[in-house]
Each structure stands twice: as structure tokens, then as C-alpha cells.
Amino acid sequence: MRPSGEIRAHSLAAITTIAVLVLAISGGCEGASLDELLANKACTPEGDCAEGYVCHPATKMCVVEGTALDGGGGGATTTTTSSSSGGGEGGMGPCTSVTQCPPPRSDCEVQVCIGGECGTTGLPMGTMAPVQTAGDCKDRICDGLGSVIDQNDDDDIPVDDEECTQDMCTSGLPDNFPQPLGMQCAMGGGEFCDGMGLCVECNARSDCDMLPPDDECQQRACIDGHCMMEFTAANTPVSLQTTGDCKERVCNGTGGIMTIAVGIDLPDDKNECTSDLCTGDVPSNPALPGSSCSAGTCNASGQCVGCTTDAQCGASTACVVRTCEAGGICTITYPPAGTPLPSGGQTPGDCAELQCNGNGGTQTAADNNDDPPDDGSDCTDDICVNGSPQHPSLLLDTPCASSGVVCDGAGSCVECNNPTQCANQGTVCQTATCGGSHTCGLTDLPNGTAAPPAAQTNGNCQILVCNAGALQTMNDDSDLPNDLDDCTLDSCNAGLPTHPNAPSGSPCGNGGSCDGSGSCSVLGPNGSACVSGSQCTSGSCADGVCCNTDCTGFCRSCLGSQTGGTTGTCGDVLSGEDPALECMAMNQVCDGDGACWFDCGATPTPPALSCPAACTGGCAGGTCFIDCNAGGACDLMTIACPAGFACEVQCAGSASCAGSTVVCPDYYGCNVVCNSGCNNLDVQCGTGACSLSCGNANNACQNTELYCGSNSCEASCSGSSFPTLVNPATACLAQSCALANGTPCMSGAQCASGYCPTQDGVCCDAPCSGSCHSCKAMDTGGTTGTCLPVLSGGDPNQECAGALTCNGSGGCALKAAGEPCMMNNECASGYCPSQDGVCCDTACNTKCLSCLQAQTGQPTGTCDDVTAGTDPQAECPGAKVCGGAGQCVNP
């Protein structure tokens, strides 16, 4: 870059040259106009120019604001053009002020107005042009003739802000040459230059010494300038192995080593009578009983001995049985004559059975249960008669499906034998038929035939008749309508139902008479529905029915369903009921003798003569109703129930009772009903019965407390919030909406115990958060709701690692003998015989051995001989059974 002092020197020279040129061209200041003087005045950027002029940044001369000269210019050569003289490079026009002259055509020109003619002046050669390109290794300078040329400037270096490049100019050409490979750097978190201008983390794997050292399963690597670990492919064996353990140590694909089961790393015990096996990753050497060996045959203990199995005595057949008896002697026995051959030796459907003849040969006997093959007809049977296949016809009307609906009794499947079997029964004006060829058809009923009653509409003054197999509607004035009104007449008029009023005085109802306008005047008997006593013969209407008395007072009703008596006769409400909710405010029910039953012997005081002002909902039956249902009607208040009354406070509006305190009366009951808006409510119970009912609305009773008094104290709830009972022990009958242990729950707030273990979902007597503990009977064998250790062998919440299960004491362990299993690695003994499905003390995998108590009589988990005379696992050939000594014998 050129030093700023040099630029200033060039600019000062340019200004001086311009001033000299202007004075020389104009002949001094005498012939210059005011505009010319203003436009060519020397200036500084701070503002020495007249209004409408600005200071040119390169020439430091005043120029007209808004013209091209505004951005720089000036010149050492002045060109003027006169319209009359014809000189110059084309007419630039006359002027009286430089502001009238066109803008210059180059950054190295400035306009002038001299002698009334517009012209331009070129800036001195070497003047820096106002617009430069930083970092291009060049300067834009004026050539003294008004044009801009480039000049090399090796100080104007191209800075790319990269730590791994060298910024330089070479004979006017910019370059960012890369720093040497491996040079230290720190840009962007890197450490080394890569020789191509970038600062990277590494150039070779040796630069990655911050990573773990190399081993068989992981190696350092430098990829694209980044350090990373390269992992050996999963399942690649490592060098250190243990021969014969059925396992192989391999890379896990993420840099570590894991152990996998391999079936070829066999445990060789050098015994010709055992097999070298890998079961998963468990090595074993089970015996090979019956195998040939150097001394004869291998026995069940893995020893090389003489004859031990039937197979060594030759092949048996169904009728010739070859066995190896004690002492290694082969014997031949013949099943009794008549013994059936196995199913594989029979011919299905030939009505015969192939049997042994008792001498090693076979014989044939009739078998009437060996039904012959289906002959393809739904209407024939496939049976054997005296050893001969037969196909007799099925009975008439036997259902079939091959080509019809029913059998014709002659072995064919047909559409019908009678019309009722036809799928299409036609319309109500048609009759189904079954022709001689057992095919269905339809016959129209005679025209004018009335449609059956099921098709008619009674009382519509019309009748449906048949016409050409279809229904036709005709007027029928004898089909009278019935509106069930004694005070109207039922008639037809040209096929339309009408109901004119009955004459006045016509009888109606129960002893009433019509008024001529369609109404009946009658008094109802006791038990009939009513609204007022004026509708009843008794003059009394109670509970919506005519009653023998007014039936007033506590726990009285005229409904038989409430008294157990006759509807229409006033009586006492049944004991334990409260249909009119008269006793609810006292948290009690009717006693069966016309009164409310009070707990704990509390004696109520007589009700007041008049309804107190506090009873905003009125009084009824000695109960004061306080209405707080309007939103916010009673919030943040003390709601005092008046003495001498049972009290019921209703809260159902938004925040209607929020943050309030209800003070209940003594002796009389107090009931607070909260269906919404009762959060943070306190209920102070008196000496009477006290209850708080919370409805279904979410959070209806959130943070609500019920302070129990000396009488019954109860909270009931069905929503998602739960009121708290305070001092319930002071009440003679304390109840809570909290759930009992063993009840399904979602949080501890629902439970009386305060505990609802997440994994169990029932209220529990303890947090039950320890491993292998549960509050459910199905997991512990105890009682649901009581926290106990999970039964041994179980793991209902998947708490134990790998093949471990709960050990019955709150810990994890491999399964003990006798516990259910699927794999050997689940068992502490290492044995899980597949045929038994329980952990066993040995492999127990030879014939007629079992680990199940039901098969051996020994405790489950102990391998022993199967009970003699049985073969529960069907291991013995033919009719043989286990002999009680690990061998198959004849029964």
C-alpha cells in the first residue's frame, strides 16, 4: 500500500497545478465569473465551499454538488468548446457558470467554465484516482490527459486473513502463497498448516497423540485434517483367546472388546463316549449312549461297554420288536394278534385295518370307522359297511351347498323341495312356487286381494291391495283412526283421517265430561299424576301425584317406591334413604320413622321461625341454603352458617368459593358441595355432622381442607383433586376420600398411605422403591397393597441385569433349581433342560430322566428317573415305557 503522506503530496501538487491552469486559461481572476470562482476555490472536506458546492475529495477544489465532479476529478489540461469556433472534441456548450457544464467523463477530469464556454481540465499525471481496489497490488492514477491508468504497487498486498498463507505482491500480481506443511498455527482450533493454506488439526496420525493409544480394536487416524479413531470391524477376533470355552473375544466395532458364543471352539475331553458341545457359550460333554466305541457301545454314563440299546439288536417293525435286555442280550418279541399297525402302515379310507398276526406277520380286518374318501356329493354319506365302502343318499331336505340348497333324497343337491325353501319369496302380492324340476318360481296373487295385515297401516283410512303382483293404495273409510282422545271423534273423509270435537257432555276420562272443544274435565284419584291439588279428588298433590294428605314434614313421601307402600298414600321414607335430600345437609339419612338420623347422639336445636338473611338460596325443611354458584360470588370471604339450621353451601361457579372459609353451625349438619371453584377453601366443622363433596371438575377442591369437629366428618371426591381431612381423629366417624391400600391409583395424593409406587399403580403401605419389591400380590404372593420382595425367579419391572432375576429377598441373582427358565445361562447351576423348562441340578438330558416333581416324585429342580410305567415325554419307542432306572422297558 502507498503511504498516506505520498498521497497527500500528490494531491497538493494537483491542487496547485489546477489553480495555475485555471488562472492561465482565464487570464487571471479578472475575466472569471462568480460561479467559476466558486467552483474552482480551494477547500477542505470540513466545508470551505459556498452553498450548492462541495469539496472534491481528490482535488480539494469546490465543485457543483450532485455532479460527477462530486466524487473527484480535476485536470491539468483544459478543453473548451465554442459553438462558434468549432474547436474541441464536440460542443460542450456555452456557460455563465460551471454549474451549467456537463459532468466530466473520467475520474481524472474536472469541468470548468472559462470565457463563457464549458470545458474540462485533466488532473496532473500521477494523481491518485478517488476509487481504488484494496489488495490488488495496483494503484489507479491519472495520466495527466484525463484518463485513469493502473500502476503496480507491491505494498497493496492481498490480505486473506488466513494464518497458513503468505500475503504478497509480485510485480503487481497478488498472491496468497501457502505456508510450509507442518507449520504451527491456531486458527479455527487447528494446530498445523496443511501446506495448502489451511490450519488443520493434523496432517498425519502421529499428530493425534491426544487420542487413546492404538490397539487391536482401535487405531488413531488423520482424515481430511481431523483426528479420529478408526475401529476394527465388529466380530474381528483378537489375539488373546481361551481354547475350548465356546467363546471368542472379538472387537465390538466401537473400539472395545466383547465376548461372543462360537460353536466351533469345542471343549475336547478326549472321551470317545461323550460329545464335545457348545450350547450358546456354555461348553459341555454329554454322554453318547448307544454310540459305537472301541470296546463295543457307549452307555448313559459316557463309558465304553457292551450292548446297551435296542438299536444294537437290529431294526424292529410294528410286528417284530427287538430289544436289548439286561446283561446285553438281544431278544425278539411279537405283539399279540390283532394289534393295529401304526397310522403310517394303514391305507386311509379302505374300510380295513392292517394288524399284527402274533407271529411277526400281518393280517387284514374290517374297520367300519375308516370312512371312505368323499365322493364329492353333499347329498351322499361316506361310510363303511362290513369293511366295504358305501355312499348312500342323505335324507330329503338335508342342507347342501354344492349346487343348490337342499338334498332331494336321491343323492342330488337341488334348489327346493317345497316353496318355503326358495330364497326369493316375492312381494306380499306374490306366492313362491317349487316346480317339478325342483326349481323356484313366483305366482302373482289375484288382483284386488288385500295385502296381509303386516303390510297395512291401521287407522290411515286406506287399504293396500294387490294389482299385477304389486301393491296399490285405495281409500278405506272403515279404517278409522284413533287419537286416544275421548273428546274427539275418529272418522275418515275421502281416505283422510279427521278428528272433530266430540259433543259437549260426552263422557271422558275417569268420570269426566267433554267441553265440546276437545278438552276433558276430570279429577284424578290418589296416585295419579298432578301438578296441584285442584287436579285431585283428595285436594292434595304431593311428590307429583294425588295424595291422601299434604304429606309434609321430614322424611315423608307419597310415592310407593320411596315408602314401600302404595303410591298415593303418604308414609315414612324407608330407613337409610333420603330421596328429597332433606337430611343431606346434616350428612344423614331418613330413619324410617319420619325423621333424620343423627350420628353420635347429637341433638339438634329447633329451627328458627324465619329464614335468616344469610340463606341466600332460601330455607327448606330446616335447612339454610347459601348460594355461591355465581363466579366469584363468595370468594375470599368468611361464610357463616346461621345457628339453628342445617346448612348447605353450593359452590359451582368459576372461583365462586376460592380462598373462602365456611363456618358450620353446632348441632345441625353442614354440607359443602363443590363442583368447581373451591381451590384453597377451608371448611370449619361444628358439633354437627359435616361433609365436603367434590365434583368431577378438574381441581375442584385443590388445596381444600376440612377441619373435623366432634361429629361425623366426611369428604367425598370424584375429580382429580383431593381435599385434606384435618384432625379426623376428633370425629366420632372419620372418613376420607383417600384410597385404601391395594386400590388402583396414579399418585400418592390419592392414597390414605400417601404412597402410590409408579411401577405398581396401586396404593401401598410403603414407598416400595427398592429393587425387586412390589405392592402387587401377583408379583409377591402376598396381599395387593403390601410391599414385599418379588418372588424368586420373577422380575416384573425388568430391574435385574442380563439373565439375573429377583431372588425372593429383594436382590438379583441367577435362578435357583426348580424355577422356570428358557436358557442355561439363566440358572445358577448352568442347566435348563429344554424338555422340562426349569433350572436343574444337572444337564438331565438323557432318556427317562426329568427335573419335574410331577414326573419323578422328587422336588422340582432335582434330576431323577421318571416314575416307572410312565413315559411323559414320549421318549420310548413303540409301546415301551420308562422302567424307573433311566431305561425304556416293555410294560
pLDDT beyond 80 at 101: yes
- By CB neighbour count within 10 A (0-12 exposed, 13-18 middle, 19+ buried), where does 550 fall? middle
pLDDT at 304: 74
Query: Do 847 and 839 form a contact (C-beta atoms < 8 A)?
Result: no
User: Residue 277's pLDDT band (boundaries 50, 70, 90)?
Assistant: very high
| pLDDT at residue number 187 | 87
Quote the CA–CA distance of 304 and 298 in Å, as a whole number: 4
Distance CA(467)–CA(473), nearest Å, equals: 10
How far is 63 from 107, CA to CA, in rounded Å? 13
Tell me the pLDDT band of 212, cut-offs 50, 70 and 90: very high
Task: Please count the CA atoms within 13 angstroms of the CA of 676 that sit on its side-chain side.
Answer: 11
- Which pLDDT does position 232 carry in this prediction? 94
C-beta separation of 738 from 750 below 8 A: yes
Q: What is the mean pLDDT of residues 861-881?
A: 88
CB contact set of 86 (below 8 Å; sequence gap of 6+): none
Residue 142's CB: how many other CB atoms inside 10 A?
29
Sign of the torsion angle spanned by Cα atoms 208, 213, 216, 218: negative
**Where residue 322 falls among pLDDT bands split at 50, 70, 90?**
confident
- Distance of alpha carbon 609 from alpha carbon 616, whole angstroms: 16
Per residue in 421-465, pLDDT tens? 888 888 889 899 998 889 999 999 999 898 888 888 898 999 999
Question: Would you state the pLDDT for residue 171?
Answer: 86
DSSP state of 639: E
Q: Decide: 752 and 736 in contact? Cβ < 8 Å.
A: yes
Query: What's the rounded mean pLDDT across residues 832-854?
Result: 90
* CA-wise closest residue to 146 among 110, 112, 98: 110
- How far is 674 from 323, CA to CA, in rounded Å? 87
Element containing residue 298 per DSSP (H, E): strand 296-298
pLDDT digits (tens, 9 = 90+) for 114-144: 888 998 888 898 889 888 888 889 999 998 8
- Separation of alpha carbons 474 and 484, rounded Å: 25
Give long-range contacts, CB 8 A cutoff, 24+ apart: 258-267: 260/235, 265/241
Q: Which of 439, 434, 480 is nearest to 457 (CA)?
A: 480
Distance CA 55, CA 43 (A): 6
| Backbone φ and ψ of 120, nearest 5° | -130, 155
CB atoms within 10 A of CB 462: 17
Specify the pLDDT at position 45. 64
- Dihedral sign (CA 60, 63, 66, 69): negative
Does residue 354 carry a pLDDT above 90? yes
- The CA distance from 458 to 462, in Å, is 8
Check if the beta carbon of residue 602 is closer than 8 Å to that of residue 688.
yes
Q: pLDDT tens, 486-503?
A: 888 989 998 899 999 989
Q: Which residues pair with 810 in a beta bridge?
A: none
- pLDDT score of 558 more than 90: yes
Residue type, 22: V
Q: Assign 312 to helix, strand or coil.
A: helix
What pLDDT digit, counting tens, does each position of 34-76 carry?
444 445 566 776 666 766 667 766 566 666 565 444 444 333 4
Residue 303 pLDDT > 90, yes or no? Answer: no
Q: Of the ranges 340-349, 411-420, 540-549, 572-581, which one carries the lowest mean pLDDT score?
A: 572-581
Highest mean pLDDT among 75-89, 574-588, 597-611: 574-588
CA distance 835 to 827: 15
The DSSP bridge partners found for residue 193 are 199
CA torsion sign for 499, 504, 505, 511 is positive
Q: Where are the domains of the chain?
A: 4-152, 445-450+465-522, 524-572, 580-737, 814-891
Q: How far apart are CA 728 and CA 707, in angstroms?
A: 8
Residue 880, Cβ neighbours under 10 Å: how many? Answer: 18
How is residue 208 written as a grid cell?
A: 493425534
What is the rounded distance in angstroms from the CA atom of residue 155 to the CA atom of residue 148?
Answer: 20
Q: Which residue type is seen at 789?
A: P
Q: Which helix (H) or strand (E) holds 14?
A: helix 4-26
Cα angle for residues 812, 818, 819 (degrees, 5° grid): 40
Question: How much is the pTM?
Answer: 0.26
Q: Would you say residue 856 has pLDDT above 80?
A: yes
Calculate what percentage of the chain has a pLDDT beyond 90: 23
Over residues 334-353, the pLDDT tens digits come to 999 989 999 888 889 889 99
pLDDT score recorded for residue 6: 37
Any residues with CB less than 8 A from the CB of 471 and at least 6 apart, and which? 427, 428, 429, 451, 455, 464, 465
Residue 32 C-alpha cell reads as 472569471
pLDDT for the residue numbered 63: 63
Q: Is pLDDT at 508 greater than 90 in this prediction?
A: no
pLDDT of residue 718: 62
pLDDT single digits (tens) 785-839? 999 999 988 888 888 887 788 988 888 888 889 988 888 888 888 899 988 899 9
More confident residue, 871 or 71: 871
Phi, psi of 10 (to 5 degrees): -60, -45
pLDDT, mean of residues 401-420: 85
Q: 311: exposed, middle or buried (C-beta count within 10 Å: 0-12, 13-18, 19+)?
A: middle
Kindly tell me if the per-residue pLDDT of 715 is higher than 80. Answer: no
Rounded to 5 degrees, φ, ψ at 725 are -90, 125
Cα torsion at 842, 844, 846, 847 (round to 10°)? Answer: 150
* Residue matched to cell numbers 510450509: 180
Return the minimum-mean-pLDDT range out of 68-72, 151-155, 282-286, 344-348.
Answer: 68-72
CB 274 within 8 A of CB 267: no
| 21, containing H or E segment | helix 4-26
210: which residues sit within 8 A by CB, 6+ positions away?
Answer: 227
The pLDDT of residue 563: 92
Report the range of poorest mean pLDDT among 235-244, 259-268, 303-312, 653-662. Answer: 303-312
Q: Tell me how far apart the alpha carbons of residues 122 and 105 are, in angstroms, rounded to a whole number.
A: 10
Phi-psi region of 210 (alpha: psi -120 to 50; beta: other; left: phi over 0): alpha
Find, among 666, 660, 736, the residue nearest to 694 by Cα: 736
Q: Cell 311428590, residue?
A: 543
Is residue 87 predicted with pLDDT exceeding 70?
no
Give the integer Cα–Cα distance in Å for 890 and 869: 9
